[in-house]
Amino acid sequence: SGALAPTGSASGSQFPDDLDPHNVPPELKKEGPDWFAVFNPKVKRVLDVSLVHTLMHESVVCCVRFSADGKYLATGCNRTAQIYDTKTGTKTCVLADESAGKAGDLYIRSVCFSPDGKFLATGAEDKQIRIWDIAKKRIRNVFDGHQQEIYSLDFSLDGRLIVSGSGDKTARIWDMVDGTSKVLNINDPDSLNNDAGVTSVAISPNGQLVAADGLDTVVRIWDVVSGSLVERLRGHRDSVYSVAFTPDGKGLVSGSLDKTLKYWDVSGLLAGGSKRKDGAANGKKDLEKSSQCTMNFVGHTDYVLSVAVSHDGQWVVSGSKDRGVQFWEAHSANVQCMLQGHKNSVISIDLSPAGNVLATGSGDWQARICESSNNPTTYPRQAHLVVVFHQGVTKPCRRAGFTEVGGTRSHHLVLFLVPSPPCIPFCFSVIICSRLLYHVSARELAGYQYPPAKMNVSFRSK
């Protein structure tokens, strides 16, 4: 069994235990034809999400990854990698190695764009890393060395190095220029079990550290230059399946089959940090006490398979075998919302480096692109929306202190937000009603936002 969670770590607010996602108040839910999002009633809602594209594939989607500029999304499935235009959802490129044997399956387990967007690295079940020239749709390099399938790839920000993680219990750092590699072994003698395969790797933003998860429950961090192990992070109770650095490099998020995520403070490992020097010099004892778990993200009901951190460091997202995606506030571990729509496990997840766009890959043979936005304009629950159909009434409404929240260009229809119960003097109410006033409670307009894509709200006469 795994070690206990580190002391001093805090868990954020999660959904109530008795919350039924299919039976929640309308103001806590947003839904489309084949998806829905449920918002946590315990925290202030500051996020909105919408499904933008559903990308159909011919097999399980094992991995998704955005380009550095956010304009393209790469996906990996059986025998092929695809590239899509993020904005339009159009497939722009299909990459397949025709020289690979035709017998059986050959799943592309990992994809990663080079920082300049010219190359796509793919890692597959045949133990090879292929570097594709996207414009020419040709293989530029093939890196051989791993003894088992390759599950994860990550480029350094300068594009000079690429890190790979494999089921062979190693991570490797490859030089893009000369093709040489440095092996990072994780099969150390004190491993909790013999299954220490690597399913996720990440390079720190400053290019100095490599983190790798372990099926033996331990997250390990190495120094890129020396290749020496500088940290072991213990605390998960089951295999760790995904790791991601925060944009400032001071934090590392891990996701595990124990159904939780953890935030680790690794600031002491940054260049010049005394903890990093001491840990490398003094061995195992200091390695295990340098970086602490400061937050636990609790709420998934099944394995956490993938994690990502937003480009501004404000959000953590996670994909799970429970078929859901959860958005977490990065600084508090509070869950903001849960997104459902996939009909199988959410295997892979990524956030665009350039904006509020999310991609997911699933066992249901679909990849999806969603958009999120902060601070949605939602109306107070105890309020009424007043709809005025005559320009002559708008001035008295403004003088009464009502908040104008929209209308048509001709001003023949104006929307005002007023307290509930309506603070309209009786005589004033009569005057307004004689000019065709309608109002509807905010509960009936739950989730309504201005400006709407379509004026599809039905108003009730009063």
Question: Does residue 101 form part of some domain?
Answer: yes
Residue 432 — very low, low, confident or very high, per pLDDT cuts 50/70/90?
A: very low
Nearest Cα to Cα of residue 181 among 231, 146, 220: 146
Question: Does residue 67 form part of some domain?
Answer: yes
Question: Does residue 29 form part of some domain?
Answer: no
How confident is the model at residue 21, as a pLDDT?
A: 75
Residue 406 — very low, low, confident or very high, per pLDDT cuts 50/70/90?
A: low
Q: Return the DSSP state at 268.
A: G
How confident is the model at residue 1, as a pLDDT?
A: 27
CA distances from 1 to 68, 193, 219, 383, 403 (A): 39, 10, 16, 53, 59
Question: Does residue 244 form part of some domain?
Answer: yes
Residue 404 — very low, low, confident or very high, per pLDDT cuts 50/70/90?
A: low
Assess whether pLDDT exceeds 90 at residue 14.
no
Mean pLDDT of the 66-74 span: 97
Which residue(s) pair with 387 in the sheet? Answer: 415, 438
What is the pTM (predicted TM-score) of this model?
A: 0.78
CB 171 within 8 A of CB 165: yes
Contacts of 180 (CB under 8 A, 6+ apart): 174
CA distances from 382 to 27, 29, 143, 445 (A): 12, 17, 62, 11
Mean pLDDT of the 216-220 span: 93
Distance in angstroms (rounded) separating the CA atoms of residues 337 and 41:
9
How confident is the model at residue 117, as a pLDDT?
A: 97
Q: Return the DSSP state at 4.
A: P
Rounded to the nearest 10 degrees, the angle between the axes of helix 426-433 and helix 391-399 is 160
Assess whether pLDDT exceeds 90 at residue 129.
yes
How confident is the model at residue 11, as a pLDDT?
A: 74
Distance in angstroms (rounded) separating the CA atoms of residues 101 and 354:
37
CA R_g for the chain: 26
How confident is the model at residue 402, as a pLDDT?
A: 58
CA distances from 132 to 79, 166, 285, 438 (A): 14, 20, 43, 61
Q: What is the mean pLDDT of the chain?
A: 81
Q: Which residue has the tokens 């592309």?
A: 108
CB 368 within 8 A of CB 33: no
**49-58, 82-91, 244-253, 391-400, range with the lowest pLDDT:** 391-400
How confident is the model at residue 6, as a pLDDT?
A: 40
Q: For the chain, how many structural domains are there in total? A: 1
* More confident call, 339 vs 453: 339
**239-253, 285-299, 313-327, 351-365, range with the lowest pLDDT:** 285-299
How confident is the model at residue 396, as a pLDDT?
A: 61
| Residues of the domain holding 358 | 49-269+290-296+346-373
Assess whether pLDDT exceeds 50 at residue 152.
yes
Question: Does residue 231 form part of some domain?
Answer: yes
- CATH number of the domain within which 103 lies: 2.130.10.10
Three-state SS string over 20-64 comes to CCCCCCHHHEEEECCEEEEECCCCCCCEEEEEEEEEECCCCCCEE
Question: Does residue 80 form part of some domain?
Answer: yes
Question: Does residue 120 form part of some domain?
Answer: yes
**121-125, 148-152, 289-293, range with the lowest pLDDT:** 289-293
Question: Does residue 333 form part of some domain?
Answer: no
pLDDT in tens, 251-288: 999 999 999 999 999 999 986 554 454 445 444 544 54
Residue 190 — very low, low, confident or very high, per pLDDT cuts 50/70/90?
A: low
| Ordered DSSP codes for 85-107 | ETTT--EEEEE--TTS--SS--B
Distance in angstroms (rounded) separating the CA atoms of residues 319 and 332:
19
